[in-house]
Structures are given as C-alpha cells and as structure tokens.
Amino acid sequence: MNKQDLVKAIAKEAGLSQVDSKKALDAFEVAVKKSLSKGENVTLIGFGTFSVVKRAARKGINPSNGKPLQIKAKKVAKFKAGSKLAEAVAK
C-alpha cells in the first residue's frame, strides 16, 4: 500500500473526500516529524509508538570494495507496534 492507496482507504473508512483525507494524512506526517525532531515520542494507544533512538557508531564493510569503514553514530526514527496492531497482524 502506498500513500495514495492509504488516502483512499482513509476516505472510505472515515466517510471523507480524498482531498480531506490527504490533508489529514499530511498533517499527521508533519505533526509526527515535528515531535520526533524535538525528541518527543508519539504514542497512539493500541496502535503503536513512534520514537527516536540513537544508533551507536559501528564498523562496517563497503560492499563495493570489501574494505572496512566506520559508520557514524546517528539518530533514527523507530516504530513499535501496540498491542491491538500486533494482535491484528498475528491473526
């Protein structure tokens, strides 16, 4: 499912137009990005939690030449599924 498919599904499920559904999805994306950029978690009870975690620096291998390289530490976005989402996927 891509973004356009998701917009259509939201429109159908919520009884909204596709334009309004796209606006809502875009607003959700912006809100999550802003919160994560501030280091805040976004928790949707039963669905899941978006958070930022630090990845430590580590050694890697350049796949094109096989030489070792150092991968820098960085922050990455993470999603942990909530109980209701996990149950729905497991069925």
The domain locations on the chain are: 1-39, 41-91
Q: What pTM did the predictor assign?
A: 0.81
Token digits of residue 58:
């580590």
pLDDT band at 28 (very low <50, low <70, confident <90, very high): very high
Tell me the average pLDDT of the chain: 96
Whole-number pLDDT of residue 67: 95
Mean per-residue pLDDT, 51-77: 96
According to CATH, the superfamily of the domain at 41-91 is IHF-like DNA-binding proteins (4.10.520.10)
Whole-number pLDDT of residue 48: 98
Mean per-residue pLDDT, 15-35: 97
pLDDT band at 6 (very low <50, low <70, confident <90, very high): very high
Whole-number pLDDT of residue 26: 98
pLDDT band at 19 (very low <50, low <70, confident <90, very high): very high
Mean per-residue pLDDT, 12-32: 97
